[in-house]
Amino acid sequence: MNVIFRADASLEIGSGHVMRCLTLADALQARGVECHFFCREHPGHLCELIEARGYPVHRLPQEERNTDTAITPGTEPEPAHAHWLGASWAEDAAACLPILAELSPAWLVVDHYALDHRWETAVLDGIAGSRPQLLVIDDLADRHHVADLLLDQNLGRQAEDYRGLVPEACQILAGPRYALLRPEFREWREVSLSGRAREPRLQRLLINLGGVDKDNVTGQVLEALTTCDLPEDLQISVVMGASAPWRESVTAQAKKMPWPTEVVVNVNDMAQRMAEADLAIGAAGSTSWERCCLGLPTLMVVLADNQESSARALQEIGAANYIGQTAVLREELPKKLERFRVSSLALKNMTVSSAAICDGSGVSQVVQIFQKMMGE
C-alpha cells in the first residue's frame, strides 16, 4: 500500500509541515506502508533530509514567476498563503498527477496552507481507478477541503470550526491529543516529568526558534538575555536547523555570551535535550506540543500571525508564558525570566499545566484511525 505526502519546507514556510509529515510517515512505514513525498524545491527545502530518512521524493521545480495572483471577477479567491506554493494550484496538480496515477496511492496526505479543495479535487478526480482517501493536516480553518479525515492539532480547536469547510462525512481530529510527535517524546515523558517533580531551579536554558528562523529571532533573544539577571551557573543551549540562514552569526554571538552557550545543528536527541532543560524559549509552533509532552516550562515567541491564537490559548491555561511578537523581546524577556529565577513554584505549576495537554500518543491514534478507515 502506498501513502503519498504533499508538503513543502522553505525559508518562508519553515520546516514544521514536512517534519510532522515525516513523523506520520515513520509510523506508517513501521507498519509496512510505502510512503512517498512530493515537494517543491523552494530555497530551504528539505528534500535531502526526507531522502536520508529513506523516502522517495518527487521534486517539483522552483520556477521564476509572479506570485501575485490576479483574481478574475467571479472566481474563487486564492488561499491567504497561495504564494507559498511557487506555482498555481492547477500547475501544481498537473505536475503531481502523472506520478500519482502511476503510484495509485491508498491515501493522500496534504499539509500545505496554499492548497484547498480545488487542488484536492483535481488530483483525486484525475487518478484513474480507486479514489485515494484524503487526510488534510491544517492549522487555520480558513478554506474548503474535500477531506475524508482532517487533523488540526492546535489547542482550543474544535471540530465545529470546520463546519461548512469539509464534507459532512469527514472525520475531524481536533486538539493536541492528536499532535504528531516522534516516539522519543513519549519515551522521555516519564523521565522528564519525574525529574521536574523535584525542586526545580533555572540552570539549563534551551532556545529553539524553529528550524529556519529566517529573521534571526534567535540572535535577538541572545541579545536580550545579556540584559537579564540570571544565575551565574546558567548553561544555554541553542538548537538550529541546517538551513537556518543566520547560523554562523548566532554561533559567533554565542561565544560572547556571559554564560556558556552552545549552538547545535540538526540534533537527533531533541527529546532528551528538552527533558534535561529547566526552561525553554521557543516558537509557538508545532514544537509547542513536544514541550508540553515533556512538561517543559516555556517562554513563547510568536513568529507568524497564525501562531498567535495557539500561544494565547497556552498562556490562558498556564501551560506556557507568552512573550509576544519579536518587537517587544528586549523589554519583556527580562520581566518574564525574573519570575522563573526567583520562584521554583512558577516552573512547577507550568510543568503540571503543560504536561496535561498531550502525552505523545497522537501519531499512534492517527495511525489507528487510518487502519480502521481502510478496514484493516
pLDDT string in tens for the chain (376-residue length): 899 999 999 999 999 999 999 999 999 999 999 999 999 999 999 999 999 999 999 999 886 554 444 444 457 899 999 999 999 999 999 999 999 999 999 999 999 999 999 999 999 999 877 899 999 999 999 999 999 999 999 998 999 999 999 999 999 999 999 999 999 999 999 999 999 988 778 999 999 998 889 999 999 999 999 999 999 999 999 999 888 899 999 999 999 999 999 999 989 999 999 999 999 999 988 899 999 999 999 999 988 887 888 899 999 999 999 997 777 888 899 988 988 877 778 899 999 999 999 999 999 999 999 889 877 6
| Dihedral pair phi/psi, residue 229, rounded to 5° | -90, 100
C-beta neighbour count of 12 within 10 angstroms: 15
| pLDDT at res. 376 | 61
Q: Which domains does the chain have, with CATH numbers?
A: 2-181+360-373 (3.40.50.11190), 183-355 (3.40.50.2000)
Query: What region does 156 belong to: left with phi over 0, alpha with psi -120 to 50, or beta?
Result: left
| pLDDT at res. 200 | 79
| Grid coordinates of 335 | 520581566
| pLDDT at res. 62 | 80
Q: Which of 229, 282, 238, 242 minimizes the C-alpha distance to 260?
A: 238
C-beta neighbour count of 258 within 10 angstroms: 12
pTM: 0.92
- Asked if residue 229 lies in contact with residue 338, where contact means CB atoms within 8 angstroms, the answer is yes
Residue 255, amino acid:
K
Beta-carbon contacts of 56 under 8 Å, excluding residues fewer than 6 positions away, are 36, 37
Sheet-wide strand order for 235-240: 261-265, 235-240, 204-208, 279-283, 298-302, 321-325
